[in-house]
């Protein structure tokens, strides 16, 4: 029979797991959006990969979606507006979550 402590421990484990999965999905989303932006800027190969890494790093340096949005909007200039970047980030978060689930 589950005790209150067992239920609490299970809840804490689920919370930790969900937080870890969200972190991974956001990092992957940032990489995918970085590759999308690199393509818009005409970057290919290693240059595109390096740019995607910079986008991921932007989130680590100043945690949060807004830091990534500012970087992308600033770098893309007239190639994509803020709403387009936000829409792409939302789209890629869905893709990233699906990829992570598929890999599990």
91 pLDDT tier (thresholds 50, 70, 90): very high
Report yes or no on 13 lying in a domain: no
pLDDT 10s digits, 7-20: 888 889 888 988 99
- How far apart (Å, rounded) are the C-alpha atoms in residues 60 and 82? 20
pLDDT at 1 over 70: no
21 belongs to a structural domain: no
Q: Which helix (H) or strand (E) segment is 50 a member of?
A: helix 45-61
pLDDT above 70 (res 97):
yes
Residue 71 counted as domain residue: yes
Contacts for 85 with CB less than 8 Å, ≥ 6 apart: 33, 37, 69, 72, 73, 76
SS3 track for 5-41: HHHHHHHHHHHHHHHHHHHHHHHHHHHHHHHHHHHHC
Residue 76 belongs to some domain of the structure:
yes
Q: In this structure, what CATH number is given to the domain that contains residue 50?
A: 1.10.790.20
Question: What is the per-residue pLDDT for 30?
Answer: 97
Burial class (CB in 10 A: 0-12, 13-18, 19+), 10: exposed
Residue 12 placed within a domain: no
Coil, helix or strand for 42?
coil
Structural domain total, the chain? 1
Asked if residue 2 is part of any domain, the answer here is no
pLDDT tens digits along 29-74: 999 999 999 999 999 999 999 999 999 999 988 878 999 999 999 9
- Please report whether residue 1 resides in a domain: no
With respect to residue 90, please indicate whether it lies within any of the assigned structural domains. Answer: yes
Give me the domain span that covers residue 54: 26-103
């Amino acid at each position: 029979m589950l005790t209150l402590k067992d239920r609490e421990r299970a809840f804490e484990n689920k919370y930790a797991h969900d937080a870890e999965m969200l972190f991974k999905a956001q990092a992957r989303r940032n990489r995918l959006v970085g590759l999308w932006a690199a393509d818009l800027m005409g970057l290919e190969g290693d240059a595109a990969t390096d740019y995607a890494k910079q986008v991921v790093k932007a989130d680590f340096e100043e945690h949060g979606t807004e830091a990534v949005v500012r970087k992308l909007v600033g770098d893309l200039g007239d190639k994509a507006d803020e709403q387009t970047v936000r829409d792409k980030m939302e789209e890629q978060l869905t893709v990233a979550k699906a990829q992570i689930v598929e890999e599990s």
